[in-house]
């Protein structure tokens, strides 16, 4: 996910970045994340940003359960909670508070509050709690010396205590039984809730135990639009309001999310032909998964051979260039397509007539011109493009990708998309974003917070909404937000047959919440639910930053904490080593293993002198070794200093490089949608005179460090085709011009489409202009085809060699080794022995001879896939049996096998 750059941490790691939305978009939202799984970042540790104080006063008091209130800054003397009913002229009341102590259970549940004064609710007043929570609520205190204090009250804890046990297992949203729908919404603090159905108002009944409001409808309600009319105290505006709001559990929507629709996803009319007995490709264990990350619109919007450009149905165009390419990747060993968010978002106008377009001839400008970005930016606020990290309704497909956004076409067509991908051998992963909402408070794009104000969002100690995730953060640690996450994922799995989920900013979720998702999926069976939930894969961004950092509020779903769960986290260790530097370097020319550090230095002083370059390169090689093991914490090897170390003892900017307990805990990648594409990063870092052929070879070598690792690996769609975004480091809002994938090499690879948008890139324009103007950096078709074919050869080797999918850490330790690692290791070359295979990564501009004396006399040969592949340079790699010497050409990864 993305946003403005965060300050780098004290340990020299960069904060989690990737701007997906910024002020001035439609929501004035800003995304700040670490380039992890999607881009190039590490877990940030900078202080979290937060929204400006909301409402007439701060909320320093927190009512954590029916018995206890915590008040930051209060005196340890008596206090009270004063409440009004929220109705004009109606009497209020009070709950008396006396100084108290937190129980051990309360301290465990609210560790970030344990240092603040605690108060006990007078037992005589506890029966007033449910009434008090349905109107204005303040904490007041009068001290003996005449001073007084008043503050607002945060209520999520007490709502969970009072209502959570009875609400957590309830079915919400529209639920059909024998054709009749029941509509249910959780709104425990509301004074009243009514249903606005197709223009008329229908009363709803409240269940006082759960706080759920329900109404049972008639068969003819099916397909009709509805909203809830929620009368509730809204602290952000300091008054009682009646909000007209859509259903958080919507299953279908009208265009632009104006109304929810009463829709049964099990309605046979919504099932495309063959849906009920859809045959999926064989499930691939996560540890062996090879994943293509793909934005739905990027895939087809400029594909002239697609009949449905920019739509779900583009994945049904079996003869399009894009589908042919995906099919070739699937045949080579790619197992999943990871779709960037395709749920309902708040940003893009869904009706095509409302979508703006650049109003100029973009192709007419020079490759280093400012004009393209100026024109694209001019229409960005109303165009059809956004990455989609702006959730509005979590469990409805985005309407702008449908042939008709008004109604259920999006449901049918999303299902047809899944069918289309499954039909060419690819399973489908959804990128899900439950860590924030598009807006909070009374904003029109706020859904959850207008139904239960102050509950679903994560609040800081002063009552403001946390925005460390970029936007209005949610609180999955609260019962009903955690339930929404689980319920939503299960719906996508059952009703849309999604095969996996990638959690955006997963470290902002409690580990328990993600494990609850895993448990709920595991319970799905083909006989009862139509899917085998145990075969659904889960992974996410386990960055540790913001207000939840270091397990401050709960045990987080971070890299370290998720080890051993079978749920993978993106690993930034090898990614940084292979590329070099970090995503926020002032000088983007800082080099790494595959970008010429020490072995082909560029002119940047940021790389240091030759001695510093050599030392950094060797350390990068240790990081890559750990990455090739699957980031195992306990894997033991000899590092480049000659020391016997564990993966956890190798330093990564002050953190352990190895953190995984088993293969499959860490997901490897060299690039993703955040920050510069791999091609663009290499454009910056390699000496400008590097030939197109050598650039392509180094691109393949960089991709190989992930593709040939233990555990899952991901690559950005088009990277095998040398995809460029014209050096745009943050293209969330850069439109089709900078983002579209060009499957036909005759259309170029995207490089030289003008200077990237100024908002996130202008400081790099002095570096960009000479590169974009250089025609040698726009590869020709043979170069593009050669890179793609070489990458597919690596996928075939991975898919056909069981040694790349070892099941346990012990197996990795016994079968994988780096026989030439140590003080005499060759800078720029890695040699890995894996069972009967030997893999040599030669990132230098010279042929390299790697002699493994222990293998002398043993017969090895270049792997037949490469020996008979299209890359004739790699085919010249050789082995001398008498000495155990492997000879590998420049800029080449070669795989040898024992005969």
By annotation, the residues acting in catalysis are 504, 541
Beta-carbon contacts of 737 under 8 Å, excluding residues fewer than 6 positions away, are 358, 362, 372, 376, 753, 754
Beta bridge partners, 196, equal 201, 227
> Cα dist. 610→412, 581, 594, 657, 786 in Å?
59, 16, 17, 25, 33
CA separation for the pair 365, 287 (Å, rounded) = 46
Beta bridge partners, 391, equal 345
The secondary structure of 311-373, three-state, reads CHHHHHCCCCHHHHHHHHHHHHCCCEEEECCCEEECCCCCCHHHCCCCCCCHHHCCCCCCHHH
Q: What is the dihedral of CA 843, 848, 852, 853, to 10 degrees?
A: -160
Beta bridge partners, 407, equal 253
Q: By the 8 A CB rule, do 302 and 212 touch?
A: no
Residue 576 dihedral angles phi and psi, to the nearest 5°: -65, -35
Beta bridge partners, 715, equal 292
CA separation for the pair 701, 706 (Å, rounded) = 9
CA separation for the pair 451, 526 (Å, rounded) = 36
Q: By the 8 A CB rule, do 679 and 699 touch?
A: yes
CA separation for the pair 863, 852 (Å, rounded) = 18
Q: By the 8 A CB rule, do 670 and 678 touch?
A: yes
For residue 432, give the nearest of 344, 551, 331, 325 by alpha carbon.
Answer: 344
Beta bridge partners, 119, equal 69, 99
In 801-843, alpha helices (H)? 809-815
> Cα dist. 715→176, 289, 292, 343, 671 in Å?
41, 11, 5, 22, 6
Strands annotated E in 613-741 = 636-638, 644-646, 651-652, 655-656, 666-669, 713-716
Instruction: Reduce the DSSP state of residue 188 to 3 states and report it.
Output: coil
CA separation for the pair 259, 20 (Å, rounded) = 26
As given in the structure block, the two tokens for residue 380 are 């960005």
> Cα dist. 643→161, 606, 785 in Å?
53, 28, 42
How many C-beta neighbours within 10 Å does residue 239 have?
Answer: 12
């Amino acid at each position: 996910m993305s946003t403005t750059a965060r300050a780098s941490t004290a340990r020299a790691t960069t904060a989690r970045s990737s701007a997906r939305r910024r002020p001035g978009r439609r929501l004035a939202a800003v995304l700040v994340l670490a380039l992890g799984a999607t881009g190039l970042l590490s877990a940030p540790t900078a202080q979290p940003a937060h929204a400006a104080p909301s409402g007439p006063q701060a909320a320093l008091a927190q009512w954590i359960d029916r018995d206890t209130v915590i008040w930051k800054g209060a005196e340890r003397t008596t206090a009270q909670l004063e409440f009004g009913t929220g109705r004009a002229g109606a009497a209020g009341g009070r709950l008396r508070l006396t100084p108290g102590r937190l129980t051990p259970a309360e301290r465990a549940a609210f560790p970030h509050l344990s240092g603040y004064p605690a108060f006990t609710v007078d037992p005589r007043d506890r029966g007033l709690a449910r009434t008090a929570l349905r109107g204005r609520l303040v904490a007041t205190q009068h001290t003996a010396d005449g001073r007084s204090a008043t503050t607002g009250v945060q209520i999520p804890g007490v709502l969970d205590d009072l209502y959570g046990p009875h609400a957590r297992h309830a079915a919400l949203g529209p639920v059909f039984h024998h054709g009749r729908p029941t509509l249910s919404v959780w709104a425990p603090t509301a004074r009243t809730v009514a249903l606005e159905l197709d223009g008329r108002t229908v009363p709803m009944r409240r269940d006082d135990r759960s706080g759920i409001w329900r109404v049972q409808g008639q068969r003819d309600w099916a397909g009709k639009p509805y909203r809830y009319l929620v009368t509730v105290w809204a602290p952000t505006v300091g008054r009682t309001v009646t909000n007209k709001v859509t259903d958080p559990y919507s299953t279908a929507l009208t265009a632009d999310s104006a109304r929810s629709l009463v829709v049964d996803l099990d309605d046979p009319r919504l099932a495309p032909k063959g849906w009920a007995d859809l045959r999926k490709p064989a499930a691939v264990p996560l540890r062996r998964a090879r994943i293509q990350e793909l934005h739905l619109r990027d895939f087809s919007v400029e594909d002239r051979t697609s009949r449905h450009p920019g739509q779900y149905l583009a994945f049904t165009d079996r003869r399009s260039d894009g589908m042919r390419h995906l099919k070739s990747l699937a045949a080579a060993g790619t197992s999943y397509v990871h779709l960037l968010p395709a749920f309902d978002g708040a940003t893009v106008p869904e009706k095509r007539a409302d979508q703006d377009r650049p109003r100029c001839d973009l192709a007419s400008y020079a490759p280093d011109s400012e004009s393209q970005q100026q024109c694209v930016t001019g229409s960005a606020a109303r165009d059809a493009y956004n990455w989609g990290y702006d959730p509005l309704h979590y469990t409805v497909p985005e309407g702008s990708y449908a042939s008709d956004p008004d109604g259920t076409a999006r449901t049918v067509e999303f299902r047809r998309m899944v069918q289309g991908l499954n039909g060419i051998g690819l399973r489908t992963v959804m990128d899900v974003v439950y860590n924030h909402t598009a807006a909070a408070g009374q904003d029109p794009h706020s859904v959850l917070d207008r139904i239960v104000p102050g509950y679903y969002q994560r609040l800081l100690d002063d009552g403001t909404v946390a925005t460390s995730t970029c936007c209005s953060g949610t609180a999955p640690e609260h019962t009903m937000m955690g339930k929404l996450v689980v319920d939503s994922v299960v719906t996508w799995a059952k009703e849309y047959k999604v095969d996996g989920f990638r959690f955006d900013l997963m470290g902002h979720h409690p580990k328990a919440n993600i494990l609850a998702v895993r448990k709920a999926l595991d319970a799905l069976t083909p006989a009862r639910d139509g899917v085998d939930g145990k075969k659904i894969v889960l992974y996410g961004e386990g960055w540790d930053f913001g207000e939840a950092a270091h397990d401050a509020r709960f045990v987080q779903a971070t890299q370290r904490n998720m080890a051993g769960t079978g749920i993978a986290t993106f690993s930034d260790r090898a990614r940084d080593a292979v590329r070099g530097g970090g995503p926020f370097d002032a000088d983007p020319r800082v080099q790494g293993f595959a970008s010429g550090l020490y072995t082909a230095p560029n002119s940047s002083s940021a790389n240091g002198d030759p001695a510093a370059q050599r030392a950094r390169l060797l350390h990068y090689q240790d990081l890559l070794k750990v990455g090739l093991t699957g980031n195992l914490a306990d894997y033991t090897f000899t590092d480049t200093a000659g020391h016997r170390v564990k993966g956890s003892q190798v330093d990564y900017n002050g953190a352990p490089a190895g953190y995984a307990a088993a293969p499959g805990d860490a997901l490897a990648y060299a690039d993703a949608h955040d920050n510069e594409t791999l091609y663009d990063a290499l454009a910056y870092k390699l000496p400008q005179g590097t030939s197109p052929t050598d650039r392509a070879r180094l691109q393949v070598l960089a991709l190989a460090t992930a593709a040939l690792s233990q555990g899952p690996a991901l690559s950005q769609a088009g990277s095998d085709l040398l995809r460029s975004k014209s050096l745009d480091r943050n293209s969330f809002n850069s439109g089709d011009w900078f983002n579209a994938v060009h499957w036909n090499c005759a259309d170029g690879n995207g490089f030289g489409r003008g200077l990237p948008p100024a908002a996130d890139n202008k400081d790099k324009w002095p570096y960009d202009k000479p590169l974009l103007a250089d025609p040698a950096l726009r590869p020709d078709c043979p170069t593009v085809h050669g890179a793609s074919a070489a990458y597919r050869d690596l996928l075939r080797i991975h898919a056909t060699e069981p040694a790349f999918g070892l099941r346990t850490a012990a197996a990795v330790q016994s079968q994988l080794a780096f026989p030439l690692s140590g003080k005499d290791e060759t800078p720029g070359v890695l040699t890995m022995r894996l069972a009967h295979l030997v893999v040599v990564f030669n990132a230098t501009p010279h042929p390299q001879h790697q002699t493994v004396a222990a293998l002398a006399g043993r017969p090895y040969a270049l792997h037949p896939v490469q020996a008979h592949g299209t890359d004739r340079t790699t085919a010249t790699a050789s082995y001398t049996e008498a000495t155990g010497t492997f000879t590998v050409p420049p800029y080449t990864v070669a795989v040898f096998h024992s005969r």
